[in-house]
Amino acid sequence: MAFIFRQTALGMALALSFVLSLAGAAGAAAERERVETFLEVTGFDVALESIRLSADSAPAMLGLAADDFGSEWSRLVEEVFATSVMHDMGLEILEKTLPEDLLEHGIAFYGSELGQRLVAAENDAHMEEEEGFKAEAGGAILEGLRGMDSDRVAILERLNAASAVEDTSIAAMQEVQIRFLLAAAAAGVIELRMEEPDLREAMRSEREALREGLRESALEGAAYTYQAFTDEELITYAEALEDPKMQQVYELMNAVQYEIMANRFEAVAERLSDMQPSQDL
């Protein structure tokens, strides 16, 4: 389940209170054992694990580099972004928020033969550490498809449109960045030169410029991830994503994933106050 690149129109869905209210309106939450099954079958457990790869961008947000902290940075990432920690956070939230009917709907599709092949491909793409390679390979595939005037480009666009990828990805990632910067400022790691409302407005003004680039990168990611699937299989997937229940599943999963990401970045900011840029001896 490609949650990072499959967003629904949830807007600023990072607030855990929204996640809880969404579940409360939908029905009783599923049992823990079934939630564990859901995580594995849909690949959401791997999506959570891949959050660790986003940690590399944290120092750059503060005008620093991971190398500035030497081996301390690697230890910090290993502890704060520990797979077990993020898994337990996701499990705890979903136990309270994932309605049983949505859980069963997600398992029914992703547990199918096609669903499991999609999950395997998406898991591999999630854990690809060389993001540049993925973008380059996906871009080359996309260029070839466009050169042939292939219908597959429209199918990939449909997959992304089914999840309103641009608006929600930009809004959610900017919210993660804002929460990280505010936490870093509160911890004394940096000094912000603007108040929070001004910071939010400055980032909001950048969204239009970011949207086109994100749309293209999402297409490159889809071209790379689904290169082994037929057009017919991808059309089937698009239809599954467009189902109202699957839309709700993605709303909840993306809200949970970005909430965990923001929480872990805030934890990094708090820990950075005890660290100083250094060089390994």
Q: Give per-residue pLDDT as tens, 197-233.
A: 999 999 988 888 888 788 888 899 999 999 999 999 9
**pLDDT value, residue 73:** 85
Q: Give per-residue pLDDT as tens, 144-170.
A: 999 999 999 999 999 988 876 556 678
Count CA within 13 A, CB hemisphere, residue 101.
Answer: 10
Is residue 241 pLDDT above 90, yes or no? yes
DSSP secondary structure of 66-107: GGGGTHHHHHHHHHHT-HHHHHHHHHHHHHHH-BHHHHHHHH
Is residue 132 pLDDT above 90, yes or no? no
Q: Given pLDDT bands bounded at 50, 70 and 90, which one contains residue 172?
A: confident
**pLDDT value, residue 224:** 96
**pLDDT value, residue 167:** 61
**Domain range annotation of the chain:** 16-272
Phi, psi of 184 (to 5 degrees): -65, -40
